[in-house]
Structure 1
Amino acid sequence: MAFDFHTHHDRCGHATGSIRDYIEQAIAKGLQYIGISDHSPYFAAKEDQAKPGIAMAKSEFPHYIAEVLQLKKEYQSKIEVLLGVESDYFEEHEALYRDIYSQYPFDYIIGSVHYANGKSIFDKQRWEGLSKADCLREKELYYASIQRSARSGLFDILGHIDAMKGYYPQFSDIETEAVEQTLKIIADSDVAIEVNTSGKNKDCGGWYPSHDILERACFYNVKITFGSDAHVPNRVGDEWEQVRTELKHLGFKEWAIFKNRQRKFLPL
């Protein structure tokens, strides 16, 4: 049973195609579940759309919800359309996001850390001039945020848990116990992580998280699911079968799907 829980569309400003385009692509590829999970607005910002080209406006969020729910009904005989969102995690605004999300009938929520120490994790310039000690601190601050996101209880899935390597592949070589500690906390918090195949589009290549992290996640019995992180329709379900095969090879027996904020498992 094929699925993809991480897709975007043109509302966020850096993806192309409508929600319908992603659903149609999922049907064409034989998926049984397609999750729509565009970037959450910056709810704590004064502006309606604080960062155009990164996330949708606050005023657009109800329209996003309504469109997904309408398409869920329209396509119910062809595919299971799931209402999700990829939510930024900001510890200082946790209560605000919790309150807003409680107002909508989400099937699942992905929690992703896109900012660490006040900068985008994808900012190539953040690493310039840093010493080894500084780089280590940046990595550990990033994983501290992921740990807090896991413990928050806000999320069903944690998104791309080593995405900071995206434009700085050397990130993976920075040795720290923080990654191991984070996996233990994720397991204890009973939140799933995704295998996200969009790393292939960044300088690092490959998947998020890395093979080594997936191996340790299996050891700690971290729950696992799949998301392409498609920003163009033809990437829906990208490398799903390769991921399934690799997870089985690593020792995973099952992966998670979500509906109505409830999790169940499918055999790999």
Structure 2
Amino acid sequence: MLIDYHTHHERCGHASGSLEEYVKKGIDIGLQQLGLSDHMPLIHVDPKTYLPGMAMPANELPRYVEECFLLKEKYKSQIEIKVGLEADYIEGYEAEIEKIISSYAWDYVIGSVHFLGEWDISDSRQLDGWDHKDVDDVFTQYYDAVQKAVKTGFYDYIGHLDVIKRFGRKPKSDMIEKERQTLNLIKEHDLAIELNASGLRMPVEEMFPSERILIESHKLGIPLTIGSDAHKPDQLGLFLDQARNLLKKIGYTQLATYDQRKRIMVCL
């Protein structure tokens, strides 16, 4: 089955293209399921310090959801659209996150960590956040945040599990123990992870997560889905052929799909 469960569009401010352009592109490239999964609005950064285009404005969230469901109905004979949200985990703001998630009828919710405090570790404009920090400490802080996200029970799967490596920073230690702790928690809480192919177009030039993490996930029996993390329509499905080939090599035979927050396994 050809699916892409991780996409962003113009409302988030750092992507381009309308939702309908993504749907049409998905039909063109033969996707059977397309997940629309834009970023939730920011709830913890002082608006005065916002960099342009960090996330969808709060007043656009209901419009986003409404348009997703309209397109789901409009194109139902051509493609199956899943209505999703990439919901940041931000420690100390659990109540606000839960309110956003519980307010809409999502098909799935991606749990992602982009922020350590007010520092967006995935934003190329904020690379100075690494200055004067120990890389090992940052990696440890990141995985601790992912583990806290898992424990909330808010999410259906964890997005780009090792995105902390995005800009090529490498810790001195191998982080294997932190990775294992995180994967064991994911297994314990019956979550899935995603293979996010966008890392191949990032400075790290490696998918999220690494093959090492994927192998361990497979050993643990953790379900997995895939996404391009497209930020413009032409990126839809990008590198997903390589992602599927890697999964087959490791031994995966199924992908996780979602409907009304229920996981449905389909043949890879």
Shorter-chain TM band: over 0.9
Change in Cα spacing, 1:48 to 1:64, as seen in structure 2 (3 Å) is farther
CA deviation vs aligned residue, 1:153-209 (integer Å, no higher than 9, x gap): 1111211111111113424x6423111111111111111111001112221012111
Q: Hey, what's the Cα distance between the residues in 1 that align with 2:8 and 2:237? A: 13
Matched-pair contact (CA < 8 Å) for 2:90–2:117? no
Q: Hey, what's the Cα distance between the residues in 1 that align with 2:51 and 2:211? A: 33
Q: Hey, what's the Cα distance between the residues in 1 that align with 2:68 and 2:48? A: 21
Q: Hey, what's the Cα distance between the residues in 2 that align with 1:108 and 1:95? A: 19
Alignment of 1:245-256 (within 5 A): 245-256=245-256
Change in Cα spacing, 1:48 to 1:38, as seen in structure 2 (3 Å) is farther
Deviation for aligned residue 1:118: 4.3
Change in Cα spacing, 1:209 to 1:48, as seen in structure 2 (3 Å) is same
Q: Hey, what's the Cα distance between the residues in 1 that align with 2:169 and 2:92? A: 29
Q: Hey, what's the Cα distance between the residues in 2 that align with 1:54 and 1:165? A: 20
Deviation for aligned residue 1:103: 1.7
Q: Provide the residue aligned with 1:186 in structure 2.
A: 186
Matched-pair contact (CA < 8 Å) for 2:107–2:261? yes
Alignment of 1:1-268 (within 5 A): 1-44=1-44, 47=47, 52-116=52-116, 118-122=118-122, 123-130=126-133, 134-171=134-171, 174-176=173-175, 177-268=177-268
Q: Hey, what's the Cα distance between the residues in 2 that align with 1:222 and 1:7? A: 22
Matched-pair contact (CA < 8 Å) for 1:117–1:138? no
Q: Hey, what's the Cα distance between the residues in 1 that align with 2:130 and 2:54? A: 21
Q: Hey, what's the Cα distance between the residues in 1 that align with 2:11 and 2:39? A: 9
Q: Hey, what's the Cα distance between the residues in 1 that align with 2:208 and 2:62? A: 30
Q: Hey, what's the Cα distance between the residues in 1 that align with 2:249 and 2:61? A: 40
Matched-pair contact (CA < 8 Å) for 1:167–1:202? yes
SS at match of 1:170: coil
Amino acid at match of 2:85: V
Change in Cα spacing, 1:116 to 1:152, as seen in structure 2 (3 Å) is same
Aligned length: 264
Q: Hey, what's the Cα distance between the residues in 1 that align with 2:85 and 2:48? A: 18
Q: Hey, what's the Cα distance between the residues in 2 that align with 1:47 and 1:241? A: 39
SS at match of 1:85: strand
SS at match of 1:91: coil
Change in Cα spacing, 1:45 to 1:28, as seen in structure 2 (3 Å) is same
Change in Cα spacing, 1:159 to 1:199, as seen in structure 2 (3 Å) is same
Amino acid at match of 1:116: L
Amino acid at match of 1:83: V
List alignment gaps of at least 5 residues for structure 2: none
Tell me the percent identity: 38
Matched-pair contact (CA < 8 Å) for 2:119–2:129? yes
Amino acid at match of 2:16: T
Matched-pair contact (CA < 8 Å) for 1:117–1:141? no
Amino acid at match of 1:243: A
Of residues 245-254 and 145-154 in structure 1, the stretch that sits farther from structure 2 once superposed is 245-254
CA deviation vs aligned residue, 1:224-266 (integer Å, no higher than 9, x gap): 1001000010111122222122112112221100011110101
SS at match of 2:207: coil
Change in Cα spacing, 1:49 to 1:109, as seen in structure 2 (3 Å) is farther
User: What is the RMSD of the two structures over their aligned residues, measured on CA atoms?
Assistant: 1.8
SS at match of 2:108: coil
Q: Hey, what's the Cα distance between the residues in 1 that align with 2:56 and 2:130? A: 28
Matched-pair contact (CA < 8 Å) for 2:35–2:82? yes
Q: Hey, what's the Cα distance between the residues in 1 that align with 2:117 and 2:101? A: 25
Deviation for aligned residue 1:100: 2.2
Moved over 6 A (4+): none
Q: Hey, what's the Cα distance between the residues in 2 that align with 1:49 and 1:138? A: 22
Amino acid at match of 2:146: I
Q: Hey, what's the Cα distance between the residues in 1 that align with 2:69 and 2:51? A: 26
